[in-house]
Amino acid sequence: MRCMPILWSAALGLIAIAAAAEPPKKYQVVTPKDNDITATGINGRGEIVGFEWKEDARHPGVIAEVPFFARGKAMTYLPLLEGYTATFPAAVSDDGRVVGRASKPAPPGVRVHLRNQAFVWEARTGIRGLGVLENDSASFACGITRDGRRISGYSVGDNRVRACVWDDDGGGWKSTALPHDSRLRSTTVVISGDGRFVAAVDGAAPCLWARDASGRWTRERIGDDGALVPKAVNDAGTVVGVRFTSDGLTHAALWSRREGIKLLPEPAGYIRSEALAINNPGEVVGMVDGPGGSKIGPNGFVFAGGRLRLLDEGGPNFASATAINDRGQVAGVLETKEENEPAGPDAKPKRE
């Protein structure tokens, strides 16, 4: 009888060793091309939106960022909203609705109404503007729910910037201002896939807005002033983003109701980081980088199970992970590193 606890302890030890030796989960990096891509969003089907860097046909030698929607390797270039000269996609729903902002130039010193306007695009119906909150003059769309029926963003008026949502009412889009204590200070207003949570910076405070069963939105402060700039929120209301420090650096941060705000660990040799997306299993992706002028980074990362590692699945050109879905598919920035630039602090430069 006395040998059983010993045997049981030995078995537990073997289980612990096996768990420690288990290889890290592999993630699929989704991209229509292996280079010159900046993805801004991914949906549950693995379709992505973003920009392709390509030479402007009208101006040889000039590289332009061309907005696209991609399903696998097939790319659809997004159109212009009538009267506008640029399209900036930000997010995509599971049914292929793309949101972002359209913009047009303004002469110096001239105020142009709707110089920036939030838009929604889908292949079947094309592109349309979402308008602004009453008496405002500009709007920006930043996120969209999985079902494509709620969009997050902000509206700009005289001496005010307000987070808002647009809801599909079957015949158009109804805009609603979220409650504010001050003026919106972040340039991104993120929304959870189920549409129940929105996060941004109100004044200097990171905030989480929640929608109850009656449809009422409430605002909650989730940290001290300057503690977090939200970049994504999942269905559990967990928020990820960045913290700016006095040395001019950014650091990846995560807020949860159980633990509050915590900074994610940066690998040895890296000095700055950004958490840019989180899925419902709680996997966080983003970017880590080394000192300015060094050969370290930038590199995409994944944080899961309490550990952060470089996301080497994307190859040496994968500079940043900007989006992740619940299937573990990841999208981001693919760009050619400088000649002889190693991928990380332990890599060695090639011989001349």
Q: What are phi and psi of 87, to 5 degrees?
A: -125, 130
**Which pLDDT score, from 0 to 100, does residue 297 have?**
84
pLDDT averaged over every residue in the chain: 90
**Which pLDDT score, from 0 to 100, does residue 136 have?**
97
pLDDT greater than 80 at residue 228: yes
Going by C-alpha positions, the residue among 276, 302, 274, 303 that lies closest to residue 288 is 274
Query: pLDDT class for 178, splitting at 50, 70, 90?
Result: very high
Q: Does the bond joining 298 to the residue before it have cis omega, within 30 degrees of 0?
A: yes
Count of CB atoms situated within 10 Å of the CB of 247: 7
Torsion region of 177: left, alpha or beta (phi above 0 gives left; psi -120 to 50 gives alpha): beta
Which contacts qualify for 121-126: CB closer than 8 Å, 24 or more apart?
121/69, 121/78, 121/79, 121/89, 121/97, 122/95, 122/96, 122/97, 122/98, 122/148, 123/69, 123/76, 123/96, 126/79
pLDDT greater than 70 at residue 9: no
Q: Looking at residues 5-33, what average pLDDT do you find? A: 66
Query: pLDDT class for 106, splitting at 50, 70, 90?
Result: confident
**Which pLDDT score, from 0 to 100, does residue 33 have?**
95
**Which pLDDT score, from 0 to 100, does residue 13 have?**
52
Pick 101 or 21 by higher pLDDT.
101
First to last CA, the chain: 68
- Return the structure tokens found at 188: 């991104």
Q: Looking at residues 168-180, what average pLDDT do you find? A: 95
Query: pLDDT class for 339, splitting at 50, 70, 90?
Result: low
Share of the chain above pLDDT 70, in %: 89
pLDDT greater than 90 at residue 311: yes
- Return the structure tokens found at 78: 């997004």
Cα angle 287, 99, 74; round to 5: 75
CATH superfamily of 78-212: TolB, C-terminal domain (2.120.10.30)
The span from the CA of 113 to the CA of 214, in Å, is 34
Annotate 184-237 with DSSP letters as a single string: B--S--EE-TTSSEEEEEETTEEEEEEE-TTS-EEEEE-SSTTS-EEEEE-TT-
Question: Exposed e or buried b for every residue in 263-288, given b needs 16+ CB within 10 A?
Answer: bbebbeebbbbbbbbbbeeebbbbbb
**Which pLDDT score, from 0 to 100, does residue 249 have?**
95
pTM of the model: 0.89
**Which pLDDT score, from 0 to 100, does residue 61 have?**
80
